[in-house]
Amino acid sequence: MTPRLFVFPERIRDGEAVLDSGQSHYITNVLRGRPGDTVLVFDGSGREWEGTLQLREKSLLVRLAEARRPDVESPVSITLAAAIPRGEKMEWIVQKAAELGVTRIVPVLSSRSEARLPAERQSRRLKRWEAVAQEAAEQSGRVRVPEIVPPMSVEELIRSGEFAVSRLWLDPRGEEAWRDLGAARGSTFLLAVGPEGGWTDSELALARGSGFRIVRAGPRTLRVETAAVVFLALLQSRFGDLS
């Protein structure tokens, strides 16, 4: 399989993409790539190139052919807002959400979130999540990388009102069953998935009062990482390109 690499747009100019040190190490030491080998490059804007590895003054670069725009992105825009779980589970959520075609991921600090993320750690975690999203986009053949929004509170998420036309809030107390969801307005969605302990009454009331559709997901309690993957797949199956 031809390697795929995400390269920031500012590193692409004059028909060449300059690889960073991590990518150069991966290509030469892990994949055993050599000058003349073929790789694919994308810059996150929807463009992709086939190119040839070249070595110049100890820097590894890719000589690019004509750009193309593969039709691999979902026709719907989905923002996943997920309560941050403990440990490294958020990385798994980011990875799988990127593979499933989300546009944006919002890590949420809810009242019952198992994880606590002090301000001094947020920047480091955010960079790690961005790297995971880039790697997942490379692996899954996407030409856009999901945006990772800095962590926000439930109140900030609800009051932002900027991410979607159809806003879905998963909760066992929901008025609507997922299977009865029916038609949705527009082609942009916000899917909010709460912590294992559930949303608080005040968080649920705030979401309901702000126009979210409160949707129950079934009789069993799902972990946040399970619910995120299951219902992203259901959204893409019903409204997107997962068939």
Mean pLDDT across 89-103: 98
My answer on whether 166 and 102 are in the same domain is yes
pLDDT in tens, 46-76: 999 999 999 988 889 999 999 999 999 999 9
Whether 219 is covered by a domain: the verdict is: yes
The whole-number pLDDT of residue 59 equals 84
Q: Kindly tell me if the per-residue pLDDT of 199 is higher than 80.
A: yes
Asked if 59 and 86 sit in the same domain, the reply is no
> Residue 89 and residue 48: Cα distance in Å, rounded?
30
Q: What is the mean pLDDT of residues 142-160?
A: 94
In a domain, 70, yes or no: no
The number of domains in the chain is: 2
Q: Residue 42 maps to which CATH number?
A: 2.40.240.20
Q: Do residues 108 and 203 both lie within one domain? A: yes
**Range in 49-53, 99-103, 173-177, 224-228 with the lowest mean pLDDT:** 173-177
Alpha-carbon distance 37 to 63, whole Å?
A: 11
Do the bridges between strand 59-64 and strand 16-18 make them parallel or antiparallel, or are there none, so unpaired?
antiparallel
CA 196/CA 87 separation, integer angstroms: 14
Per-residue confidence (pLDDT) for residue 12, from 0 to 100:
97
pTM of this structure: 0.91
- Residue 149 within any structural domain of the chain: yes
